[in-house]
């Protein structure tokens, strides 16, 4: 079974084919946009969750798990928030045979589930900062065409929520989130940009939103997460306040940080090729697959040697398996290439006699041999090399995905960078007249100097726009 569609030619269909053939997800479940996590895909997601947990635990966040349902009365307390989510939430209206007095929202995100509890938990400045997170499924009634991991109605989601005694301390949290992000993304070998979203595109109720975007091969961008500063926009309606050192009651400043299963979608889109999925070693359920090369009369010797090699690599912490199915080596190569296994090891009689293992790297097809005696050290160093090469290649692609333009007339299929005076009027013009999504301005100053592409006023801010996925 080989991949039929080429990535460059039709990215969307190529993507769907990879998801299916690599057995990452089964979308035949009878609710559109609610897919089944099959074992291989779920193992990849679990690795991502593990890295997120590690980083949040390391930075003093505590994991919690809140109920799925939110009373309508709580959901409606922050006005912009309800407006933003009105059209895309699921409602529970009945319990058994009874109609509910207060309808329940199936969480689209957990601000309104958590904040009534925060108002009970936070009493004094000694309770701050409060830093919690959860990894749960959220639900949004997506009306656009659904796509595995990228646009679904049941979303595997990570969200952290923090409360602080000042705006500055909340800002420090945002900066910490960037460090967490960088460390997680390194494991995924994924590049990204941080863009401060426009006021009309920020999270409903936020003071500001930083979108985390990755460039996809079709010239569009995929938002894989976001970080928000809320100031006191939620703490006032939800009455989350504390007594400061002078005995005065003040509202907390809040932040949130969210990422989702879209990270899996980004990994597929950024790293995959015409042979299938390409997994970063840190995510791969199987990091090294061993293929026995058997010929007449040597099956026992070769099988013993491959089992022994697998045991040694697993003992050294490398996730390794032997493919001893009764099939030709060539069809086994295809099988594991489609599934993106980073490292293929081959062991035949001649290799054993020479004390060597033959290897092939999935990311670039590079081949070679190493001494069986040093297998643990060698395999580990090749896997590290694969991760470095994948990260570097992906950043290079991200950089070349952006193009500076002087006009938005017939723009290239790229992420466009141009001068924008920051005025809302010019922003809407960019979106409406040219059918683009204005992604925002770089969160970190990038030294841009130019003129607004609409009104011509001098500006030190660049705008980024693209067709979004
Ligand atoms: Zn302007």
Tell me how many helices (H) and strands (E) the chain has: 12, 25
Q: How far is ligand 1, taken at its centre, from the CA of residue 412, in Å?
A: 22
| 463 Cα–ligand 1 center, Å | 11
Residue 422: how many other CB atoms lie within 10 Å: 15
Look at residue 2 and tell me whether its pLDDT is greater than 90: no
β partners of residue 154: 139
Q: What percent of the chain has pLDDT over 70?
A: 99
Angle, CA 206 vertex, CA 86 and CA 444 arms, to 5°: 135
CATH for 101: 3.30.930.10
Looking at the structure, tell me whether residues 74 and 209 fall in a common domain. yes
Centre of ligand 1 to C-alpha 168, Å, is 30
Greatest extent of the chain over all pairs of C-alpha atoms, in Å = 85
pLDDT at 469 > cutoff 60: no
Q: What is the mean pLDDT of the chain?
A: 96
Q: Is residue 219 part of a domain?
A: yes
Mean pLDDT for 5-27 is 95
> Residue 318 is part of a domain; what is its CATH number?
3.40.50.800
* Residues 6 or more apart in contact with residue 370 via CB below 8 angstroms: 356, 357, 359, 378, 379, 382
Q: Which pLDDT score is estimated for 468?
A: 61
Q: What is the DSSP letter of 260?
A: E
Q: What's CA 387's distance to the chain center, in Å? A: 17
Q: How many CB atoms lie within 10 A of CB 382?
A: 22
Average pLDDT value for residue range 410-414: 89
**CA of residue 447 to ligand 1 center, whole Å:** 18
List pLDDT tens digits, range 146-186: 999 999 999 999 999 999 999 999 999 999 999 999 999 99
CA–centroid distance, residue 26 to ligand 1 (Å): 47
Rama region for 194: left / alpha / beta (φ>0; ψ in -120 to 50; rest): beta
- pTM here is 0.96
Examine the domain organization and report whether 170 and 314 are in the same domain: no
pLDDT given for residue 137 in this prediction: 98
Number of structural domains, the chain? Answer: 3
Q: Classify residue 391: in a domain, yes or no.
A: no
Q: How far is the CA of 178 from the centre of ligand 1 (A)?
A: 30
Cα(198) to ligand 1 centroid in Å equals 14
Same domain, 156 and 253: yes
Percent of the chain with pLDDT over 90: 90
Question: Please, are residues 211 and 440 in contact by the beta-carbon 8 Å criterion?
Answer: yes
Residue 78 pLDDT: 86
Question: Residue 460: inside a domain, yes or no?
Answer: yes
What is the C-alpha to C-alpha distance for residues 218 and 344, in angstroms, rounded to an integer?
29
CA 432 to ligand 1 center in whole angstroms: 14
Angstrom distance (rounded) from CA 275 to CA 283: 18
283 belongs to a structural domain: no
pLDDT category of residue 74 using cuts at 50, 70 and 90: very high
Q: How deeply is 460 buried, as exposed, middle or buried, from its count of CB atoms within 10 A (0-12, 13-18, 19+)? A: middle
Whether residue 259 is found in the same domain as residue 294: no
Domain with 441, as residue range(s), is: 402-466
Residues 264-275: tens digit of each pLDDT: 999 999 999 999
336 CA distance to ligand 1 middle (Å): 52
Which is nearest to 363 in space by CA: 444, 254, 283, 458? 283
Structural contact between residues 464 and 417, judged by C-beta atoms closer than 8 angstroms:
yes
- Whether 90 and 191 share a structural domain: yes
Round to whole Å and give the CA distance between 412 and 430: 15
């Amino acid at each position: 079974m080989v991949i039929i569609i080429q990535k460059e030619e039709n990215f969307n269909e190529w993507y769907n084919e990879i998801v299916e053939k690599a057995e990452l997800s089964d979308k035949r479940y009878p609710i559109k946009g609610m897919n089944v996590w099959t074992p291989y895909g779920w193992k990849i997601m679990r690795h991502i969750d593990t890295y997120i947990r590690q980083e949040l635990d390391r930075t003093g966040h505590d994991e919690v798990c809140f109920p799925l349902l939110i009373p309508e009365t709580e959901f409606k307390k922050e006005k912009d928030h309800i407006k933003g989510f009105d059209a895309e939430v699921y409602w529970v209206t009945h319990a058994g045979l009874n109609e509910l007095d207060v309808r329940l929202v199936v969480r689209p995100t957990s601000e309104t589930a958590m904040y009534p509890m925060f108002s009970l938990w936070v009493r004094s400045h000694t309770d701050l900062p409060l830093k919690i997170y959860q990894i749960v499924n959220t639900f949004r009634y997506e009306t656009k065409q659904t796509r595995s991991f990228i646009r679904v109605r049941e979303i595997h989601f990570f969200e952290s929520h923090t409360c602080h005694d000042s705006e500055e301390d909340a800002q420090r949290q945002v900066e910490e989130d960037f460090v967490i992000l960088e460390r997680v993304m390194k494991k995924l070998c994924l590049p990204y940009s941080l863009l401060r979203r426009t006021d009309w595109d920020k999270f409903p109720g936020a003071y500001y939103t930083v979108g985390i975007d990755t460039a996809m091969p079709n010239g569009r961008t995929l938002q894989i997460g976001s970080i928000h500063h809320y100031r006191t926009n939620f703490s006032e309606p939800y009455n989350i306040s504390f007594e400061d050192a002078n005995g005065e009651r003040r509202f907390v400043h809040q932040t949130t940080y969210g990422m989702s299963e879209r990270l899996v979608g980004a990994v597929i889109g950024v790293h995959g090729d015409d042979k299938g999925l390409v997994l970063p070693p840190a995510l791969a359920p199987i990091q090294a697959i061993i293929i026995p090369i058997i010929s007449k009369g040597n099956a026992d010797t070769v099988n013993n040697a491959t089992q022994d090699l697998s045991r040694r690599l697993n003992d050294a912490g490398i996730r390794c398996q032997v493919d001893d199915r009764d099939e030709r080596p060539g069809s086994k190569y295809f099988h594991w290439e489609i599934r993106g296994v980073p490292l293929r090891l081959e062991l035949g009689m001649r290799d054993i006699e020479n004390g060597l293992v033959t290897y092939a790297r999935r990311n670039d097809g590079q081949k070679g041999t190493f001494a069986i005696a040093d297998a643990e050290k060698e395999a580990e160093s090749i896997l590290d090399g694969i991760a470095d090469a994948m990260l570097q290649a992906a950043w290079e692609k991200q950089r070349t995905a952006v193009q500076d333009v002087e006009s938005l007339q017939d723009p290239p299929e790229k992420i466009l960078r141009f001068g924008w005076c920051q005025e809302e009027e010019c922003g809407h013009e960019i979106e409406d007249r040219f059918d683009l999504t204005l992604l925002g301005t770089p969160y970190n100053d990038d030294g841009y100097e130019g003129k607004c592409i609409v009104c011509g006023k001098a500006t030190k801010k660049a705008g980024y726009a693209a067709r979004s996925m």
